[in-house]
Structure 1
Amino acid sequence: MPTADELIDARTTDELASVLAAAGGGPASAVRDCGAALAGLAFSLRVTAVKEAVLADLPDGYPAFAAVIRAALDQSRFTGWMTFPVDAAVAERALADRVFEPALDLLAELTPRHTAEMAVRPFLAADLPRALRPVLGWTGHPDPHVRRLASEGTRPRLPWAPRLAALVADPGPALPVLDALYRDPSEYVRRSVANHLNDISRDHPDTAVAVAARWLADPAPTTPSLVRHGLRTLVKAGRPDALALLGFDPEARVQATGPDVRTPEVHLGEPLVFGYEITNTGPRAVRVVVDYVVHHRKANGALTPKVFKLTTRELAPGGRWSGIRRHPLRMLSTRRYHPGVHRVHLQINGRPYGAADFVLRGPREQSA
């Protein structure tokens, strides 16, 4: 599998240059030549380099520029990652020429080849009400890629993209898009809606819970699953109204044993192993969502918590559930581990239970 930085390379630019040339874009020499300079660049810089080459090769005026891109769409080989910098070039050329709706229409045509979600965002940042009008129209498009573009492109906190400050401050203007899509027949679209709702929950938890409650009052069979995914951050945070909406009573009478750490000393690269047991001590059946929280030691010695999902169960009165968890502690590009005492505790329906320490050591081959 290629790394992220290898998704756009010299082979990509050679093929893109051939596509653009066949579409009437001239020799596309800037696109072809820029491939030699991509090695060693991060993905975002590769996108920028190819985008600038596309802008250099194609006509200056937006109508002639767009005509080449539409002609390229007649070629089935114009697909995948080569379209990513082209999307960015469409946005830049269109906004420079003060072209709005026709460019958004073109991005909707491009998105089935590879999502154009990043390129929609400059239009939303430039004029949110104007951009949202065609975006809302996409929710009725027959192609699920275009319907997903409406939800994904308007996410306030889309990963790897600049945040949409206006929608971070007030998600309300984009809610009609989500309302139109939460019962979509495509799981691909619904997953985007759930992720958009989760974005909202980070800044406006009350709004996210209210929207989820409204959807659950008029659901499709798939709505409960969508809402669970959309409120996952609030569930991990132990937000009582989100838990209650999903049927988890924060005041449920449960007893927890554990976490019973079986590996009090763990070497980096090995798993933390702990056992646990949960008992319903109340008179009624209860639904429990069980998470566990690992408190990672930072370089300054402070502990910082990270919540991980464990299980969801329904327990009859007196019912018990027990298990063993093996939590990997291995090097990740997104997390650095520091040796020393760490901690783990259970979280049941948002409430903490128990706590146990364990010591993290360096990799075993370096600890002799």
Structure 2
Amino acid sequence: MKSFIPALLLGTVIFQGCSAPADSVTAEHNSPDLVGYLDSSSKEDQLSGGARMIPISTPKGEYKVWTKRVGNNPTMKVLLLHGGPGGTHEAFECFDSYLPKEGIEYYYYDQLGSHYSDQPNDTSLWQTERFVEEVEQVRQALGLGKENFYLLGHSWGGILAMEYALKYQDNLKGLIISNMMSSVPAYNTYAEEVLGPQMAPEVLAELKQIEANNDFSNPRYMELLLPNFYTKHALRMPVAEWPDPVNRMFNHMNQTVYVQMQGPSEFGIRGNASLKNWDRSADLPKIKVPTLTIGGEHDTMDPEHMKWMASQFPQGSYLYCPEGSHMAMYDDQKTYFNGLVKFIKEVDSEAKSKAL
């Protein structure tokens, strides 16, 4: 396996954030009760600053996963599903710069096998269906429900979020699928036909040869990927300027989980990877809750596919990040968060109006 940077996996359309980044949301959204938001006096996690290890049951025994609550809001609570598989919550730490000032409560969470949670060696645990049941157990432990529960999944977390919604959408208030397509075969085609040819032919040829030789530990593989792929489609900044949370997430990646589910290649999901044939495109209309898809112009995922996804949900909307890549929450940050906050608050406002 290569060194420290794997890929980040993984109705009427309403468009959000399609032009220049906005600096703020509407005025009525900008007045959270700061005292109440910061009050943890009635919380069982007060002693630990919101952090909790939550016990979960699996077919192979009992384990614990790490979560951390930020803020209080009775009607807007967002559980964050990180990428990888095998990544960590750390890639979401930029949310601290945006969601607290909007009064939105959110939860960091390391999935089983990830750095802050238990890391069992049993590879039979790394199955999408089991991860779905894990998320449901976490939801129950955190006390999230239909009246307040938003689920945000980024990359692989987007796959997990879709799978969760298809089984447990009655528990959801809103769903956000960030930088993830609904079909791995379609993603493979996009990587092969669109992303690869954007490289210099000699670079692409050398990368393909390394992959054909199954020589993923070759330092040359990453030497070519960093300037020719990662800084163009994963995070559009010079590597030396990548934010600390992103670097920590990559350094903490569980390679065993990642390779088993995503595979070693950076041009799609191939080989014996368990996600290779995953495709939920035909099932998207079954997800009835308000759903936001987020895509970036320079993403590893096809932004047009993510736009199409929004049209398949009965209550779908699409947030386009014109400067964004796969980690648009960093390289098109204002567009990303302005659109995300707008979606969460509009869903909340509509729910309150219906309750009157």
TM category (shorter chain) comes to under 0.3
| Larger-gyration structure (1/2) | 1
Higher strand share: 1
TM-score scaled by structure 1? 0.26
